[in-house]
Amino acid sequence: MLLIIAVITLPALQMVWTSLQLTDETGVSHGFAGLANYQRLFAEPALAGVLSNTVVWVLLVVGVSIVAALGLAQFLNKRFFGRRLVRWALIVPWAASLVMTSTVWRYMLEGGNGIVNRFLMDLGLISTPIGWYQDPRYAFWSVVAVGIVVTIPFTTYVLLAGLQAIDPQVYEAGKMDGAGPWKAYRYITLPLLRPSLVIATILVTIYVFNSFPVIWVITGSNPGNFSDTTLTWAYKIAFREQLNTGEGAALSVINVLILVVVILLYLRAVDGDRERQSWLGRTWAALTGRLSERWGRSGSAGPVPAAASGRVRPRVWPRLRPVVLPLAGLLIAAFFLAPYAVMFLGSFKDGAELYAVPATYLPQNWEWSNWIDVWEVLPLGMLLRNSLIIAVASTALVLLIAVPAAYYTARNRFAGRTTFMKLVLITQVLAPVALVVGIYQEVVYVDGVNQYWAIVVVNAAFNLAFVTWIMNGQFAGVDVAIEEAAMMEGLGPVRRMLRIMLPVVRPGLVTALVFTFIQVWNEFVISLTVFNDPTNDRVTLPVGIQQLVGLNETNYQYLFVASLIATVPVVALFIAVERHLVGGLTAGSVK
Amino acid sequence: MKVRRRVQLFSLISVAGLVATGCAAGGGGSSASGTTLDQERCDQITSGTAAGATTSLKQPSGGDQSLRVQQASLKTELPRATVGSKKTISFVGGAYTGTTEAYWKDLAGKFEAANPGYKVNIRIIDWNNIDQQVSTMIQTKQYPDILNQNKFSGWAANGLLQPVDSMVSPSVGNDFIPSFKQNSYYQGSQYGLPLIASTRALFYNKDIFAKVGIEKPPATWAELVAAAKKIKEAGYTGYGLPLGGEENQGEWSLWMWSNGGEWKSGDTWGVNSERNVQTLNFLNCLTHVYKVTQPNPGQTNRTDGVFRPFANGQTGMIMGASFAPSLFKQWNANVNYGVAPIPLNNGTKPFTLGVQDYLVSFKNPGNTEAVSKFLNFFYQSDNYVRFLTSQGFLPTTQSASTALKSDPNFAPYLDLLPIAKFYPSTDPAFPKAQGTLEAQLGTALTPGVDPKSVLDQIQAAATQGNGG
């Protein structure tokens, strides 16, 4: 708890403080400015456009990816040949660092040499290349589309976990009562899935609101504010255009306030829903009612093709099922793996072919040497080692602190417990990008610049909240009787924890572990600032890879190779624990 | 329900607001510039008879609230710790290429071997993140001992830098090419050591020129338009125009200066002068009237969007740069191209854009001796030339120019150095003007946007401090 205060709350206060300071173009502070920064901000002509972009971005990305993920989760919950493959395919986009995924998307969306254009032209859908991320008419929508695609996998896993938690017996009972597939979905699946949906919505909203890399990498260097959201705009104000750190901080403060208000409103609505039907509950019911009706009516048009056609052609379905399901699975897997396939193939192309017009699908000359040269271009061994040390240590530290904390909050009802849990949640809404200055100052103060322990502690603090939250739900779900029985047997508290509790909450533990590991493994901005000392071989992998982005050139082939190498350990970890993972994600529901 | 509806309403309102401002700008555009651009008006620009072509630069209307007045009085407090001589110094620089970090680490190693007891910690940051990183260091008062950047005047105005002329030996200090050295002063003191330079020139594809029957590269805007039209008819991009955020200040400066416009006239900013509006109109003509550019020039970045297609033989002409050949070589491109002076309009004098980056030194107590040792070590001819050849940039010293005279990659550009014009980067307000230009200039090519309003925005950024 102290750690969270130190690492997150203090920098947040620092951010508020900065927003009240007069700071000049070089970052030197010239005293107190009152609300002048806020006044300037509200006078910016681009403000309205950026705000509406932000609203559209969050609503559209969250909405569409949740609907699509509902369908996907339903699909992946069925048994069919190759299901594991599809699940692995969904893991890759989640595990790959967002910066890298965005980079490859940007590359794919190029105009003349973009592979998306090549594909669409081969299909005959468009006749001339379109500058997807360049043309102001399409730029924002391209970014939204990419946002949706990269958000779906994580959302799907959260919902899949919820689906798997539903007792099959409930469906049996429903069938006996004469409920058809659609009624079952409407009256059994959706209501039972609600806790997962609530969590998914909150997590995804935070994730999407704060998703800086997608927009920044793809359209960050585009002139104008056609595709800026508040977060990328704040960065532009502080470091690119206005060069006004104070005004940027002011926008970040507003950003956090909006998100906190939205989440609190949502939580209250959901909480209130338990006792009485609140407006949100009613809307939700109406919405799902209408949705399920529509899906029911329009059959295959719904996003759940398998289930839908099951209703339309009940006779044919059993025979088609073994063919259609794996086929659909294959298509989905191919869709989500496509960007990484492009990355993989691109890593074998030479510099000229990467920019060939039209784009080539397969490399004309397989440049195997790219994969060898990259080890000379980058000190990959050192980078991998550092990232591994930091990720493992941070994950261990998080679990060491979060597990007892979660256990305590789950077993003891103390004053302000719900407030505490909500506060823990709110720490999640602060984007590291906005806090980096404050964090750096603190790390300097404790003399921890470029020290392993400092970056480990900072990373741990950022993930502590989420893990505490998940583990709290897990412990709360364990029957107290089990523990009492153990106590009778004469087991002390430590042994009780190790022998009884931890095995029981293993799914949650695994989830927390994987989640933290990925976050730390891919973390960029803070490592760049507080742990960056090439002279003494102290650089993390995402920061090191960024060296390939030069002033006048980007060595995409090496960038792709390095990104793929960086993704491998995470995907391997995933595949190893995938089975345990699914059970744990939603266990920490809002209670 | 209520809240949800309000949110929807809100987004509707803001969308409506957007549409409304879009319309207003569109309307204003046509009225501000008199008539909309058409063939005739565009041709007038290059024939020198357009309105404003003969008038001299107008004084900008914006007030000149100089930052300097305000900042000069505020000397920031520097950490006054031990004033012993410190032997470990930090070097922060930008990653010009994938080998920049390797070069500096290697150099630091050699320096430490030659000067036992001294240590240089190297930290190289990619150019996308360097501004944010340096700003973070300054806000937290963790000043690097040596910094490699493309600007210095803002820090000098805040009293954070130490004058460098006394820190390098006279043989180094007097070796800089005079125009570069002059461009390193702020209020009478030299705060920057010229590090690298690059110059620009027109690149044209010789094969395409031969194919469409153009004999010599264009020397004027009118000839450029004629050539570009022919090239376009043959199915290539006539002229590759990058006004995307990556480097549009360079492209813009070339067009502005070749039409006789300026960033500043005397001490006053003149970004939105009539002449400059005309230049921006001409770029609109290239895009929308003559239609000789690649699609979306307003959002096209230089390296990937213009250099790459040129290297692949798809573009007739571009504004090339002295470092482009090394890129072409890396991309295994075998484009057959020629290098020519920048085409001019309105009878302006020949020039080239010279861009220089600097090394500066922050005031950290006790660091002068070590910093001075390292700087002198770096500017030793062999070390410095190795930096230039490995990174593909032009020298800023006379001795290195002589040493590189025989190198075919450098020779054509070395001769241009004496006529180089520079950004007004010694003005502390320039970084902000540049940032706003980078972020906004491309929008001037969006249909319906008034070019003057975009230039007004840049002018405002240059003349208003953050306190205003």
B307 interaction partners in chain A (CB closer than 8 Å): 552
Question: Both B193 and B205 in a single domain?
Answer: no
- Going by pLDDT thresholds of 50, 70 and 90, the confidence category of residue A103 is confident
Cβ neighbours for A572, distance < 8 A, ≥ 6 positions apart: none
pLDDT at residue A5 is higher than 60:
yes
pLDDT of residue A298: 42
In a domain, B25, yes or no: no
Chain B nearest C-alpha distance from A64 (Å): 17
- Separation of CA B211 from chain center: 34
Task: Test B95 with A549 for CB contact under 8 angstroms.
Answer: yes
Q: CA–CA separation, A458 vs A451, rounded Å?
A: 11
Chain A's closest residue to B67, CA to CA, is: A24
pLDDT of residue B362: 95
Chain B nearest C-alpha distance from A284 (Å): 10
DSSP of B133-158, one letter per residue? HHHHHHHTT---SEEEES--HHHHHT
Question: Both B213 and B175 in a single domain?
Answer: no
Nearest to A26 among B17, B155, B333 (CB): B155
Among B421, B440, B455, where does a domain finish?
B421
The helix/strand/coil state of B51 is coil
Rg (CA), chain B: 24
**Token reading at A213:** 């890399």
Asked if B8 reaches chain A (Cβ–Cβ under 8 Å), the answer is no
B160 interaction partners in chain A (CB closer than 8 Å): 26, 28
Task: Test A535 with B428 for CB contact under 8 angstroms.
Answer: no
* Element (DSSP H or E) covering residue B181: helix B178-182
What is the 3-class SS of A360-379, one letter each residue?
CCCCCCCCCHHHHHHHHHCC
Task: Test B299 with A551 for CB contact under 8 angstroms.
Answer: no
Q: CA–CA separation, A286 vs B225, rounded Å?
A: 62
pLDDT at residue A214 is higher than 90:
no
Domain residues for B332? 42-64+201-352+431-463
pLDDT of residue A240: 80
Question: Both B332 and B446 in a single domain?
Answer: yes
Instruction: Measure the CA angle with vertex A58, ends A55 and A62; round to 5°.
Output: 145
- Going by pLDDT thresholds of 50, 70 and 90, the confidence category of residue A193 is confident
* Element (DSSP H or E) covering residue A127: none
Question: Both B307 and B324 in a single domain?
Answer: yes
Structure confidence by residue, pLDDT tens digits, B122-179: 999 888 788 888 888 888 888 999 999 988 998 999 899 999 988 999 999 999 998 8
Structure confidence by residue, pLDDT tens digits, A485-521: 888 888 777 777 777 777 777 777 877 787 788 888 8
* Element (DSSP H or E) covering residue B354: strand B352-361
Q: How far is CA B17 from CA A254, B424, B442, B452, in A?
A: 21, 37, 22, 21
Q: CA–CA separation, B244 vs B439, rounded Å?
A: 8
- Going by pLDDT thresholds of 50, 70 and 90, the confidence category of residue B11 is very low
Closest CA to A246 of A441, A32, A51: A32
pTM for the full predicted model: 0.80
- Going by pLDDT thresholds of 50, 70 and 90, the confidence category of residue B53 is very low
- Going by pLDDT thresholds of 50, 70 and 90, the confidence category of residue A236 is confident
- Going by pLDDT thresholds of 50, 70 and 90, the confidence category of residue A548 is confident
Closest CA to A134 of B157, B243, B127: B243
Q: CA–CA separation, B369 vs A426, rounded Å?
A: 49
Share above pLDDT 90 across residues of chain A, in percent, rounded to a whole number: 9
Residue bearing the bigger pLDDT, B82 or A57? A57
Q: CA–CA separation, B318 vs A41, rounded Å?
A: 38
pLDDT of residue A305: 41
- Going by pLDDT thresholds of 50, 70 and 90, the confidence category of residue B62 is very low
In a domain, B19, yes or no: no
A229-247: burial string, b at 16+ Cβ within 10 Å, e else: bbbbbbbbbbbbbbbbbbb
A351 interaction partners in chain B (CB closer than 8 Å): 330-332
pLDDT of residue A537: 84
Chain A nearest C-alpha distance from B250 (Å): 13
pLDDT of residue B234: 95
Asked if B25 reaches chain A (Cβ–Cβ under 8 Å), the answer is no
Nearest to A550 among B96, B132, B154 (CB): B96
pLDDT of residue B229: 96
- Going by pLDDT thresholds of 50, 70 and 90, the confidence category of residue A381 is confident
Task: Test A223 with B438 for CB contact under 8 angstroms.
Answer: yes
Q: Is B253 left (phi over 0), alpha (psi -120 to 50) or beta?
A: alpha
A interface test, pick of B118, B139, B363, B450 with most A CB neighbours within 10 Å: B139
Asked if B314 reaches chain A (Cβ–Cβ under 8 Å), the answer is yes
Q: What is the CATH number of the domain that holds B157?
A: 3.40.190.10
Residue bearing the bigger pLDDT, B359 or B466? B359
Task: Test B244 with A547 for CB contact under 8 angstroms.
Answer: no
Residue bearing the bigger pLDDT, A227 or A309? A227
**Token reading at B278:** 């005309």
pLDDT at residue B290 is higher than 90:
yes
Asked if B298 reaches chain A (Cβ–Cβ under 8 Å), the answer is yes
Nearest to B154 among A25, A135, A553 (CB): A25
Structure confidence by residue, pLDDT tens digits, A52-101: 999 999 999 999 999 999 888 888 887 778 787 888 888 888 778 788 88
Asked if B322 reaches chain A (Cβ–Cβ under 8 Å), the answer is no
Beta strand extents in B54-171 (DSSP E only): 88-94, 119-125, 146-149
Q: Contact A507/A584 with Cβ under 8 angstroms?
A: yes
Task: Test B1 with A279 for CB contact under 8 angstroms.
Answer: yes
Task: Test B244 with A243 for CB contact under 8 angstroms.
Answer: no
Task: Test B296 with A282 for CB contact under 8 angstroms.
Answer: no
Chain A's closest residue to B89, CA to CA, is: A535
**Token reading at B288:** 């929308």
Residue bearing the bigger pLDDT, A210 or B191? B191
Residue B69 burial (C-beta neighbours within 10 Å; 0-12, 13-18, 19+): exposed
Structure confidence by residue, pLDDT tens digits, A253-286: 888 888 888 878 877 777 655 544 445 555 555 6
In a domain, B2, yes or no: no
Amino acid, single-letter form, for residue B137: M
Question: Both B380 and B396 in a single domain?
Answer: yes
Structure confidence by residue, pLDDT tens digits, A429-460: 777 777 877 888 888 888 888 899 989 988 88
Phi, psi of B238 (to 5 degrees): -65, -55
Cβ neighbours for A55, distance < 8 A, ≥ 6 positions apart: B7, B10, B11, B14
Chain B nearest C-alpha distance from A137 (Å): 10
Asked if B390 reaches chain A (Cβ–Cβ under 8 Å), the answer is no
Nearest to B245 among A221, A265, A283 (CB): A221
pLDDT of residue A580: 66
A18 interaction partners in chain B (CB closer than 8 Å): 139
* Element (DSSP H or E) covering residue A10: helix A10-19
Cβ neighbours for A305, distance < 8 A, ≥ 6 positions apart: A75, A328
A27 interaction partners in chain B (CB closer than 8 Å): 134-136, 138-139
Question: Both B310 and B414 in a single domain?
Answer: no
- Going by pLDDT thresholds of 50, 70 and 90, the confidence category of residue A522 is confident
Query: Mean pLDDT across chain A, nearest whole number?
Result: 79
Question: Both B284 and B374 in a single domain?
Answer: no
Cβ neighbours for A95, distance < 8 A, ≥ 6 positions apart: A518, A567, A570, A571, A574
Question: Both B329 and B206 in a single domain?
Answer: yes
pLDDT of residue A575: 78
pLDDT at residue B57 is higher than 70:
no
Instruction: Measure the CA angle with vertex A526, ends A524 and A527; round to 5°.
Output: 65
Q: CA–CA separation, B103 vs A431, rounded Å?
A: 35
In a domain, B291, yes or no: yes
Phi, psi of A119 (to 5 degrees): -65, -50
- Going by pLDDT thresholds of 50, 70 and 90, the confidence category of residue B8 is very low
Share above pLDDT 70 across residues of chain B, in percent, rounded to a whole number: 84
B108 interaction partners in chain A (CB closer than 8 Å): 535
B295 interaction partners in chain A (CB closer than 8 Å): 111, 129, 131, 134-135
In a domain, B207, yes or no: yes
Q: CA–CA separation, B291 vs B297, rounded Å?
A: 11
Of A8-12, B231-235, B448-452, highest mean pLDDT: B231-235
Please name the residues between 410 and 449 in chain B that touch chain A, using a CB distance below 8 Å.
428-429, 431-432, 435-436, 438-443, 446
pLDDT of residue B328: 87
Phi, psi of A333 (to 5 degrees): -60, -45
Q: CA–CA separation, A62 vs A70, rounded Å?
A: 12
- Going by pLDDT thresholds of 50, 70 and 90, the confidence category of residue B211 is very high
- Going by pLDDT thresholds of 50, 70 and 90, the confidence category of residue A579 is low
Closest CA to B139 of A220, A439, A525: A439
Cβ neighbours for A12, distance < 8 A, ≥ 6 positions apart: A256, A430, A435, A438
Residue bearing the bigger pLDDT, B189 or A292? B189
Task: Test A56 with B154 for CB contact under 8 angstroms.
Answer: no
Chain A nearest C-alpha distance from B395 (Å): 18
Closest CA to A185 of A105, A270, A32, A291: A291
Asked if B29 reaches chain A (Cβ–Cβ under 8 Å), the answer is no
Question: Both B266 and B252 in a single domain?
Answer: yes
Say how many domains are in chain B. Answer: 2
**Token reading at B168:** 């390098």
Question: Both B261 and B292 in a single domain?
Answer: yes
* Element (DSSP H or E) covering residue B319: strand B315-321
- Going by pLDDT thresholds of 50, 70 and 90, the confidence category of residue B22 is very low
Nearest to B312 among A355, A548, A558 (CB): A355
Asked if B78 reaches chain A (Cβ–Cβ under 8 Å), the answer is no
Residue owning tokens 């571009």: B318
Residue owning tokens 């209703």: A311
Q: CA–CA separation, A483 vs A464, rounded Å?
A: 25
In a domain, B16, yes or no: no
Chain A's closest residue to B12, CA to CA, is: A52
Query: Mean pLDDT across chain B, nearest whole number?
Result: 83
Please name the residues between 129 and 168 in chain B that touch chain A, using a CB distance below 8 Å.
129, 131-140, 142, 154-155, 157-158, 160
Cβ neighbours for B349, distance < 8 A, ≥ 6 positions apart: none
Structure confidence by residue, pLDDT tens digits, A306-364: 444 444 455 676 777 778 888 888 888 899 999 999 999 988 987 778 877 778 888 88
Asked if B467 reaches chain A (Cβ–Cβ under 8 Å), the answer is yes
The helix/strand/coil state of B121 is strand
Closest CA to A555 of A545, A570, A567, A541: A545
Beta bridge partner(s), residue B353: B421
Residue bearing the bigger pLDDT, A398 or B64? A398
pLDDT at residue A415 is higher than 70:
no
Please name the residues between 224 and 263 in chain B that touch chain A, using a CB distance below 8 Å.
243-246, 248
Task: Test B127 with A550 for CB contact under 8 angstroms.
Answer: yes
Chain B's closest residue to A533, CA to CA, is: B123
Chain A's closest residue to B245, CA to CA, is: A221
Amino acid, single-letter form, for residue B107: L
How many CB pairs (< 8 A) connect A and B? 251
B interface test, pick of A376, A551, A560 with most B CB neighbours within 10 Å: A551
Asked if B100 reaches chain A (Cβ–Cβ under 8 Å), the answer is yes
Question: Both B165 and B229 in a single domain?
Answer: no
Instruction: Measure the CA angle with vertex A177, ends A171 and A181; round to 5°.
Output: 50
Length of chain B: 468
In a domain, B30, yes or no: no
Share above pLDDT 90 across residues of chain B, in percent, rounded to a whole number: 54
Judge if the upstream peptide bond of residue A534 is cis by omega within 30 degrees of 0: no
Task: Test A245 with B139 for CB contact under 8 angstroms.
Answer: yes
pLDDT of residue A231: 84
Nearest to B332 among A25, A246, A350 (CB): A350
In a domain, B148, yes or no: yes
A433-465: burial string, b at 16+ Cβ within 10 Å, e else: bbbbbbbbbbbbeeebbbbeebbbbbbbbbbbb
Mean pLDDT of A354-383: 84
pLDDT of residue B342: 95
**Token reading at A426:** 């709110």
Residue B456 burial (C-beta neighbours within 10 Å; 0-12, 13-18, 19+): middle
pLDDT of residue B52: 45
B interface test, pick of A440, A535, A556 with most B CB neighbours within 10 Å: A535
Q: Contact B154/A26 with Cβ under 8 angstroms?
A: yes
Chain B nearest C-alpha distance from A111 (Å): 9
> Looking at this predicted complex, what is its ipTM?
0.76
Residue bearing the bigger pLDDT, B15 or B216? B216
pLDDT at residue B315 is higher than 80:
yes
Closest CA to A206 of A387, A469, A567: A469
Question: Both B75 and B165 in a single domain?
Answer: yes
